[in-house]
């Protein structure tokens, strides 16, 4: 059956696009909205930039309701990597301090942690997560087992990148904080994939991408900072906001709102994309996330059954993206052909999906995404494509 929503995206009709997770995809209407804003900007650049705060606050107010956090505590950043970097670069560690991170951490953010830890003489302690697993509490236990009297900071993903696991951050955050550990949650994949109440989660810092699952233009993300910590946080680029008067607006917002001349039209389109998506489907965002979640669960079961592979995690740890092991025989076939699983699926079948060899000889997974424009027939095509390699 034809998907009624696909026409709103400009995705190549020749491609079976099962990789929303990497960079998102922005609907045509929102591309147009951003273009309108760009035209306004280029018509009178000085006036546009002079009024940018009201444009950004319009988006911030809508975002605050979408992610469940006060608008004063939400700064815009271009991406989650930036958000993670700002939070980490604002820490003052000392030699011997320990920082906890998992072995499923996204490479770019792990690099930021290693870079800053080394400068302070702090130690990065890597927790090996149990995987495959059946009980998410085992993750909490594995992480807490690495906390010592020297642990000061924890970076944890809300949804992991290679394995697409929704981690139990609602348990990890209070357990870490009870030990005096500050927690930075990297929610790069969370907004628009799973219902989010950022303030209630209680993390010290939470960053999330909007250009992924919320479908905003590229360069849209936010950083939430607990009010008590805002005095000590700065963007990675110091600009005018650092010494601006704070009578009407916090230094936190002023610093992040302006890090030098840039194009604010992606951030200016955030309210529009949240509203556009909300109006697209009966039941709005909740219905979108539920539909995508249900399709993800049924398709991951179908794929694992057809390929005869084990499901690596319980349904309760899945959002709208899932990693499924492919048969070893398929990996061997592509090795013999001198190609890769990714190239085979892309070049021979027109399927856009990441194929990720996991460490410790665990095997190779394909990580599929489900957004509102995806249809069951696309996953059946993926099933057939992998079977053709066995």
Residues at the site binding ligand PLP, with contacts judged by CB under 6 A? 79-81, 106, 108-109, 157, 161, 186, 188-189, 209
Closer to ligand PLP by Cβ: residue 219 or 327: 219
Q: What are phi and psi of 94, to 5 degrees?
A: -135, 160
- Min dist CB 223 to ligand PLP, Å, is 11
- Min dist CB 338 to ligand PLP, Å, is 28
Closer to ligand PLP by Cβ: residue 312 or 354: 354
Closer to ligand PLP by Cβ: residue 13 or 357: 357
Taking the CA atoms of 143, 189, 186 and 273 in sequence, report the sign of the dihedral they define.
negative
- Min dist CB 383 to ligand PLP, Å, is 25
- Min dist CB 94 to ligand PLP, Å, is 27
- Min dist CB 96 to ligand PLP, Å, is 28
Closer to ligand PLP by Cβ: residue 18 or 334: 18
What tokens does 162 get? 């290679």
**What is the DSSP code string of 252-317?**
HHHHHH-SSS--THHHHTHHHHHHHHHHHSTTHHHHHHHHHHHHHHHHHHHHHHHHT----S-GGG
Closer to ligand PLP by Cβ: residue 9 or 222: 222
- Min dist CB 389 to ligand PLP, Å, is 26
Burial of 204 (0-12, 13-18, 19+ CB in 10 A): buried
Closer to ligand PLP by Cβ: residue 161 or 307: 161
Between helices 270-280 and 284-307, what is the axis angle to 10°?
A: 70
* 3-class SS of residue 17: strand
Say how far apart CA 203 and CA 87 lie, in whole Å. Answer: 12
Helix ranges (H only) for 24-104 are: 28-43, 45-50, 52-67, 80-89
- Min dist CB 211 to ligand PLP, Å, is 6
- Min dist CB 303 to ligand PLP, Å, is 21
Closer to ligand PLP by Cβ: residue 24 or 27: 24
Closer to ligand PLP by Cβ: residue 108 or 297: 108
Closest CA to 385 of 358, 355, 356: 355
**What is the DSSP code string of 33-47?**
HHHHHHHHHHHSHHH
- CB contact at 8 A, 373 and 16: no
């Amino acid at each position: 059956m034809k998907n009624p929503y696909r026409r709103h995206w400009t995705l190549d009709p020749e491609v079976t696009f099962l990789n929303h997770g990497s960079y998102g995809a922005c609907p045509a209407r929102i591309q147009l909205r951003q273009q309108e804003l760009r035209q306004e900007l280029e018509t009178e650049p000085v006036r546009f930039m002079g009024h940018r705060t009201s444009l950004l606050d319009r988006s911030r107010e809508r975002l605050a309701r979408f992610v469940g956090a006060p608008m004063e505590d939400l700064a815009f950043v271009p991406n989650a990597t930036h958000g993670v970097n700002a939070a980490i670069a604002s820490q003052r560690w000392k030699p011997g301090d320990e920082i906890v991170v998992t072995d499923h951490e996204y490479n770019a953010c792990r690099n930021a942690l290693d870079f800053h830890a080394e400068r302070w003489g702090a130690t990065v302690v890597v927790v090996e997560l149990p995987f495959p697993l059946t009980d998410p509490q085992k993750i909490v236990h594995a992480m807490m087992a690495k906390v010592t009297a020297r642990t000061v900071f924890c970076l944890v993903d809300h949804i992991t990148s290679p394995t697409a696991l929704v981690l139990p951050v609602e348990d990890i955050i209070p357990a870490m904080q009870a030990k005096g550990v500050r927690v930075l949650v990297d929610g790069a994949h969370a907004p628009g994939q799973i219902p989010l109440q950022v303030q209630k989660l209680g993390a010290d810092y939470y960053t999330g991408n909007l250009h992924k699952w919320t479908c905003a233009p590229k360069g849209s993300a936010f950083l939430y900072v607990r009010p008590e910590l805002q005095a000590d946080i700065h963007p990675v680029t110091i600009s005018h906001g650092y010494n601006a008067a704070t009578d009407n607006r916090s230094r936190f917002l002023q610093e992040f709102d302006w890090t030098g001349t840039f194009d604010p039209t992606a951030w200016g389109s955030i309210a529009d994309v949240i509203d556009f998506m909300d109006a697209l489907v009966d039941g709005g965002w909740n219905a979108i996330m539920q539909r995508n979640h249900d399709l993800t669960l049924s398709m991951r079961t179908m794929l694992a059954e057809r390929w005869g592979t084990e499901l690596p995690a319980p349904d309760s740890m899945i959002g709208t993206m899932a990693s499924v092991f492919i048969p070893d025989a398929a990996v061997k076939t592509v090795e013999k052909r001198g190609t890769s699983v990714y190239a085979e699926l892309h070049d021979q079948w027109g399927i856009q999906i990441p194929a990720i060899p996991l460490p410790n000889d665990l095997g190779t997974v394909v990580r599929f995404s489900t957004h509102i424009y995806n249809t069951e027939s696309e996953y059946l095509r993926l099933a057939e494509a992998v079977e053709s390699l066995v």
